[in-house]
Structure formats: C-alpha cells, structure tokens
Amino acid sequence: MKRGICLLLFISLIIACIPVNCSASQSEPQEKRIALTFDDGPHPRQTRQILDVLDKYGIKATFFVIGVNVRNYPGIIAEVQARGHELANHTTTHSHAKKLDSIALKNEIEACDQAIFEQTGKHSKLFRPPEGAMTESMRTVVKQLGYTSVFWTLDTRDWAHTPPDRISDYIIQNAKNGDIILMHDYIGANSPTVAALEGFLPILLEKGYTFVTAGELLSNSHQ
C-alpha cells in the first residue's frame, strides 16, 4: 500500500515538473494595425493642428491632398513631409471623378502628382477618388497610371460636422485590425476632427492598436 502511494507521489512530481506548452491551444495575439487618413488638405490651420495631435501620440498618417491646395500651401506640405507622414493623390481640383472622362481624370491625377513632386521631390502611387466614387473606366485609368486605389472601412463623417464624442464612440466601438479610417483636414469652420482625434487615439493606443500609413498597411496585407 505504501509502495503504491509512494509511486503515485513520484509520478505526480514528475508531471508537475514537465513544462506545459499551451501554444497549441491558445492562438497568437492578433495584430492590431490601423491606418489613419485625411482627405482634401492641406489647410493652413487645421492640417497643422492635426499634425500636432499626431506628434503628441507618436502616430504617422496618410494625407490625400488636393493639387490646388498643395500649390496654395507649400509650407504645410513641407511640414507634413518633415514630420514623417505619407502624402497621396486626391486629384487636383476635387472634381467629382464620375463626371470626368478618361483624359480629364488622367490630367487631374497627373497634375496633382506634379504638384506633390514639386514640393517634396517624391511621387506617390496611392490614389483616392473624391467621395470614393469609382467606375470601371476610372479603374482602368488609375491602373494604367500605376496607382493603387485606396478607400476606407470606417467613415467618421467629420465632413458632416458630426460631434466629436459621436465620432470617438463610433471609432472605439468599431475599430478592428486592418481598418482604414477616413477623416478630413479641410472642412471649414468648426471642424470636429481634432477634438475627435483627442477622444479616440489614446483609447485605441491603450487597446494595443498600432497606427501605420495606408501604404504600410496595404504593403503588409499583400505579403
């Protein structure tokens, strides 16, 4: 009887000393990457305010710029570049792309690219059509020019002057890995964008999200 008890104790000690590998039963932590994008800028005041908030939280973003605004506010473009953010093409005049024929759309894209290049010395191959409107003929033009079209998965509706707290709540409740958030740095008076950023950025960072540029996010998804 004593031998049996001793044998059981011995076996129990051996089992207790064997390291348990739980990796098979537990999935690896999911990567949580999000791209923050801003359309229609640059704006002489709002863009700089957004840049300050992004700096505060150590976040890099993508700015889909309008060619005429690039030419009107070259100093702001220089700041966007100097602070390490990504610049991308949003046409030259923000004309509704569906109303443009192939030649006009090509001119809109190329003129915006030229404006960006003149200010930064760099070309961008990311394109977002105004209002996200895209037809098959437009896709053909964009592809021929060597661009990648970038849309979004979360629309903050800051352009509609949605209250900042509603924007923040929406993003916090719906954000997930791989999302592209749509915001604007050229809205007009009483823009809710900066206040909304202050609302949701620290929460998402606390939840373990990493903010990357649209280019980085898309590059990672294609690997």
Checking if the pLDDT of 158 tops 70, the result is yes
How far apart, in Å, are the Cα atoms of 90 and each of 68, 78, 190? 11, 17, 23
Handedness of CA 91, 93, 96, 98 (dihedral sign): negative
Radius of gyration of the chain (CA): 24
Three-state SS at 223? coil
Which pLDDT tens digit goes with each residue over 10-24? 444 344 443 434 333
CA 223 – CA 143 distance, rounded (Å)? 20
pTM assigned to the model? 0.85
Checking if the pLDDT of 189 tops 90, the result is no
Residue 76 CB burial class (10 angstroms; 0-12, 13-18, ≥19) = buried
pLDDT for residue 203: 98
Three-state SS at 37? strand
Cβ contact 89:65 at 8 Å: yes
Domain ranges of the chain: 30-221
The rounded percent of the chain whose pLDDT value lies above 90 is: 77
CA 67 – CA 165 distance, rounded (Å)? 32
Tell me whether strands 148-149 and 62-65 are parallel, antiparallel or unpaired: unpaired
Could you tell me which residue, 169 or 8, shows the higher pLDDT?
A: 169
Assigned token pair, 90: 């949003």
Tell me the mean pLDDT in the region 56-79. Answer: 97
pLDDT for residue 221: 67
Three-state SS at 35? strand
Q: What is the DSSP letter of 48?
A: H
DSSP E strand boundaries for 83-189: 86-89, 126-127, 148-149, 154-155, 180-184
Three-state SS at 112? helix
Number of C-beta neighbours around residue 63 at 10 A: 28
Task: Name the residues annotated as catalytic.
Answer: 39, 184
Checking if the pLDDT of 42 tops 60, the result is yes
Among 3.40.640.10, 3.30.1330.90, 3.20.20.370, 3.40.50.300, what is the CATH number of 30-221?
A: 3.20.20.370
The rounded percent of the chain whose pLDDT value lies above 70 is: 86
Weakest mean pLDDT among 82-91, 97-106, 138-147, 166-175: 97-106
